[in-house]
Structure 1
Amino acid sequence: MSIYQKFCHEVTDENGMLKEIRLDYPENFNFGYDVVDRIAEETPDKRALVWCNAEGEEHIFSFAEIRRCSNQMANVFRDAGIRQGDRVMLILKRHYEYWFAAIALHKLGAVMIPVTHMLTVSDLVYRLKASPVKAIVCTAQNQVPEKVREALKQSSLDAWLWCVQAEAEGFENLTAAMQASPDTMDRVPTKADDPMILYFTSGTTGYPKGVIHSYSYPLAHIVTAKYWQQAEDNGLHFTVAETGWAKASWGKLYGQWLVGSAVMVYDFDNFEPKQLTHIINQYGVTSFCAPPTVYRYLVRKGIPDMPTLKHASTAGEMLAPEVFRRFTERTGLALCEGYGQTETTLLLANFKGTSAVEGSMGVPSPFYHIELRNKQGKPAGVNETGEVVIVPEKPGKQTGVFTAYLDNEKQYRHVWRDGVYHTGDAACMDENGRYWFRGRFDDIIKTGGYRVGPYEVENVLLEHPAVAECSVIGVPDPLRGQAIKAVIVPGREYTPTRELEHEIKEFCNGRLAEYKWIRLIEFAKEMPKTISGKIRKGLQRNQAYTGQI
């Protein structure tokens, strides 16, 4: 019996499609003790983590080794005064020490704050002031120690500092310290409702918000791993995400270990699509998850045979239909899109037992009751755009949904208004019950009395070979209220000209209903983006309304 079956009751149909899922876990559930240590006790040699880097190093860790190393690291933290409820920031890229540190902090009842190494000093200052930490554990690479020291200085804060694998001025070497630390520890009493992890959002619509999840959060990722990514017992799952993003919780730790799959980690700085496929083939990866950007590169550069790969999934941004079709034609694998937020786990997806449809987010997870509601809070009709909301089993409580915004109870109450959780994302549902993303609810364009989701227009734009990247927004128009404008980053081989603008308009408008026609095109060298790579449509709209674009 897989470990997740100790906490979960599931009902599937004859095709393996999940119809119902119910969690049953103790009030003191702790992923470190009840999953990692339990697996290590029952099957100590079971493979947990397969790690390699761009320099050719390789480490393969069993669950027994994860238990031992996490205990050693937990003892180092405890000797330094880290206690239950203390906050510890992790800036560890894809270093294998991240998995030791995460489990160690879980076992201690501390709150981990994963952030990306790409943060600037000002980014770090904002996060440190928002959530003062007891300690910081970071990579020695990419000038991260220098940025951490400067950020602490600017914020007038102090913290215990550790680096992994190498020395850095002002930092203790955590890798060396843990090797000299005891490898056993007594269980620290924690509760399933205690805060476990704090993620900062990407700041698409304002300053990043601190999102707090409890110790029950990992269990909600059973659906993520088993029924969307289709990670399998004794398989090897590869999610590309860096550990500073919530996507790492989706694909590099919780759900995968719960269903018995090992996690593949490739530690790299410079993205090279052919190297990713080499890793897949070298180690026998069985399931793969990456953002559409990765699949776009693979399609353009050429996709080799990947005989061990059984499933491919994607999320995080729009997937062009052409990429879906070409990847499927080449590999025989449909790209299964999924949707969720930092504040949630997986909400909608093309699940196991269904046929993936290009461009569709799929159907709701049986773990949540999902509805689409219009501006008046009423249910949206078929093919009518509405906001994705979660109707909880109990008022204001749903496993897998965040428990608080950091020091912002007002914002938390706002997203939970009217007894439901408001995602702020717009979608519509077709006659077959499939959901289609239409953008942030605030991104919806109101033109000539019609409502247009930017993603529907962007999907068509990306079919044109000259369009490498695009963003569609509404801009002021005296006749229509708003006109549809496309901001386009052209491919390297294309030069922005009036002729190209006219060609793209003709190409797209011939494929769109008249009320969705692109009226304006602006060529740009790059898009304004958040640090997580999301296009800042709000900034583009503000610039349009102030006449800057």
Structure 2
Amino acid sequence: ADLKMIVTIEEEGVPEEVDGACEELGNGKVLKAFVGKEERDGWLNFREELKAASPDFERPRGEEATENSDILLAYFTSGTTGNPKMVNHDQTYPLGHILTAKFWQNVEEDGLHYTVADTGWGKAVWGKLYGQWIAGSAVFVYDYGRFDAGRMMEMVSKYGVTTFCAPPTIYRFMIKEDMSRYDFSTLNYAVTAGEPLNPTIYNRFLEATGLRLMEGYGQTETVVAIANYPWMNPKPGSMGKPSPGYEMVLVDKNDKVCDVGEEGEIVIKTDIGRPVGLFVDYHLDPEKMRNTWHDDYYHTGDTAWIDEDGYFWFVGRADDIIKSSGYRVGPFEVESALLTHPAVLECAITGVPDKLRGQVVKATVVLTKGYAPSEELKVELQSHVKNITAPYKYPRIVEFADELPKTISGKIRRVEIREKDKPYPVINALECKACERCIVA
């Protein structure tokens, strides 16, 4: 990453990890600073350096003046499909988040906005800094160790949060609680992004609060690029329509624009210029740039379809699409079907190699409190999906787990499940008797 300095907190084990990484890289030129009270050999004390710094700041002028095109910051992607990528944004990036805060999150001047996101990930500045402050809203920050939905809702009630943003996983945990115990009278607006929103969650949250969940879509590389805005009627499960300033279409593998109802990759058109908020490049990775951004399209790697009203419907990451017996199965539809069953708290749909079908659908399921794994429940879940979706989409393999692998930002790492299943001893799904964790039908 061409690193010149690293600043970190004095948390147990973190400075040691940094020392080890620098030693492994053989880079003795990296300045290391920590925010803490103790002294460490080879490290600067951030607080002491801050005290010694001059309070006067002279704005650079002339050739040294900051340009709009200068790099402002870099974020790492969450790595849901592979290793994280380092994404560079320029000085116009904060302005792009006016869309995010004012027009999607609908923050209020003198209101109190709360976005559930760990600092350090792109989603943090989606909801904790630029757009909210530009729009005149205060920001509520709540740090927690292990997530507790009840405790979080207590904070929303106690401090009078007016607008709220969280990934669908958080809402999923919220609706499993008795939400009638909490006071949401100050809450005027709620949005979600990060993963597709299951319609069941939308409806349950609406029943509990009277608020419609307004889904949005974006990446570390963008600001909010597609969303259900206040002036729109949301369709539960749809990401909405392209944001102002963003021209977006779906294309097939030959970059031909897809028709209504046809599945394709989401791309951002850049033929007339780069939209405000879209990233500049992947740091020191020109090959990734060539593969991702070409022919006046930025390729998101996500697939969707568009209905006759222009609403985008998420299908999955291109890497997550399952190809089984000639059919293409998007994980979101099957996950949405499973999540309507009361026994399912969380789930992830992946493809498992199969000699006969190419791939078969596998469900990794985390159960709700009060339910226990059993062969009967596995069959019941399979039948449940068959009754909701096309029969060929049901999970032939069902595996129960205590938790799903996730990124630090809370997104499900289906790639990790797929990696674990690569040596899966399935010769043919109909013949699989290799382990006791799964049932195949």
Give the drift of 1:478: 4.8
Structure 2 distance, partners of 1:211, 1:192, is 17
Q: TM-score, with normalisation over the residues of structure 1?
A: 0.72
Count how many residue pairs are aligned between Structure 1 and Structure 2. Answer: 418
Q: What residue is the counterpart of 2:189 in the other structure?
A: 311
SS at match of 1:510: helix
- Residue 334 of structure 1 is matched in structure 2 by 212
Q: How far does residue 289 in structure 1 lie from its aligned partner after superposition?
A: 0.8
SS at match of 1:237: strand
Whether 2:271 is the aligned partner of 1:400: answer no
Map of 1:206 onto structure 2: 82
TM-score normalized by the length of structure 2 = 0.88
1:225 matched to which residue of 2? Answer: 101
Q: Which residue of 2 aligns with 1:538?
A: 415
Amino acid at match of 1:234: D
CA distances 1:384-429 after superposition (whole Å, capped 9, x unpaired): 211100011436x333111111111111011112220100001111
Find the residue that maps to 1:183 and give its secondary structure.
coil
1:73 is aligned to: none
- Deviations, residues 506-527 of structure 1 (Å, cap 9, x unaligned): 1111111223233222223333
Aligned partners of 2:335 and 2:347 also within 8 Å = yes
Match of 1:175 among 35, 42, 47: 47
| Offset at residue 151 of structure 1 (A) | 2.6
C-alpha displacement of 1:165: 5.2
Q: Which residue, out of 130, 137, 142, partners 1:254? A: 130
- Corresponding residue for 1:269? 145
2:404 equivalent to 1:520: no
Q: CA deviation at 1:337?
A: 1.2
Alignment deviations for residues 266-288 of structure 1 (CA, whole Å, 9 cap, x no partner): 23323222332333233332111
Tell me the secondary structure at the aligned position of residue 266 of structure 1.
Answer: coil
Match for residue 156 of structure 1? 26
* Unaligned ranges ≥5, structure 1: 1-130
Q: State the Cα distance separating 1:193 from its structure 2 match.
A: 0.4
1:542 CA drift (Å):
4.4
**In the alignment, is the contact (CA less than 8 A) between 1:489 and 1:527 conserved in 2?**
yes
- Is structure 2 residue 184 aligned with structure 1 residue 322? no
Amino acid at match of 2:161: V
CA distance, structure 1, for counterparts of residue 197 and residue 326 of structure 2: 28
Say if 2:342 is the partner of 1:458.
Answer: no
CA distance, structure 2, for counterparts of residue 380 and residue 210 of structure 1: 30
Q: What secondary structure does 2:388 align onto?
A: coil
Is 1:381 paired with 2:259? Answer: yes
Are residue 436 (structure 1) and residue 313 (structure 2) matched? Answer: yes
In structure 1, distance between residues paired with 2:37 and 2:105: 35
CA deviation map 1:181-222 (0-9, x unaligned): 433311121111011111112222222211111111111111
Residues 145 and 168 of structure 1 are in contact (CA less than 8 Å); yes or no, is this contact kept in structure 2?
A: no
SS at match of 1:297: helix
Residue 232 of structure 2 is aligned to residue 354 of structure 1? yes
Distance across 2 between alignment mates of 1:293 and 1:471: 12
Q: Is this contact kept in 1: 2:271–2:296, CA < 8 A?
A: no
Q: Which residue of 2 aligns with 1:474?
A: 351
Q: Where do 1:277-288 residues align within 5 Å? A: 277-288=153-164
Q: Give the match for residue 483 of structure 1.
A: 360
Matched, 1:507 2:378: no
User: What is the alpha-carbon distance in structure 2 between the residues aligned to residue 179 and residue 309 of structure 1?
Assistant: 40
* SS of residue paired to 1:346: coil
Where 2:153 maps in the other structure, the secondary structure is: helix
CA distance in 1, matches of 2:131, 2:12: 30
AA paired with 1:270? Answer: R
In structure 2, C-alpha distance between the alignment counterparts of 1:144 and 1:541, rounded to whole Å: 30
Deviation (angstroms), 1:302: 2.4
User: Which residue does the alignment assign to 2:433?
Assistant: none
CA 1:422 to 1:332, structure 2 compared with 1: closer, same or farther past 3 Å?
Answer: same
1:180 CA drift (Å): 5.2
Cα distance in structure 1, aligned partners of 2:12 and 2:195? 27
Superposed, which structure 2 residues align to 1:10-21 within 5 Å? none
**1:128-167 matches, cutoff 5 A:** 131-158=1-28, 159-164=30-35, 166-167=37-38
**1:545 CA drift (Å):** 4.4
Q: Which moved more, 1:519-528 or 1:251-260?
A: 519-528
Gaps of 5+ in 2: 427-441
CA contact (8 A) 2:216 2:227 kept: yes
Task: Using the TM superposition, name which of 364-373 and 398-407 deviates more.
Answer: 398-407
Identity %: 47
Letter in 1 for 2:234: A
Q: Contact 1:132–1:157 (CA<8 Å) still a contact in 2? A: no
Opposite residue 350 of structure 2, the aligned amino acid is I
Correspondences of 1:21-60 after superposition (within 5 Å): none
- State the alpha-carbon separation in 2 of the partners of residues 394 and 204 from structure 1: 31
In the other structure, the counterpart of 1:244 is 120
Distance 1:477 1:155 in 2: 41
User: Does the Cα contact within 8 Å between 1:448 and 1:515 map onto a contact in 2?
Assistant: no
CA RMSD across the alignment = 2.2
Find the residue that maps to 2:185 and give its secondary structure.
coil
SS at match of 1:451: strand
Does structure 2 conserve the Cα–Cα contact (< 8 Å) formed by 1:284 and 1:309? yes
Q: CA deviation at 1:535?
A: 2.8
Check the 8 A contact 2:172/2:345 in 1, yes or no. Answer: no
What residue number does 2:434 align with?
none
Contact 2:118 2:409 in 1 (8 A): no
- Shift >6 Å, 4+ stretches: none
User: 2: CA distance between counterparts of 1:529 and 1:274?
Assistant: 21
Change (3 A) 1:239 1:142: farther
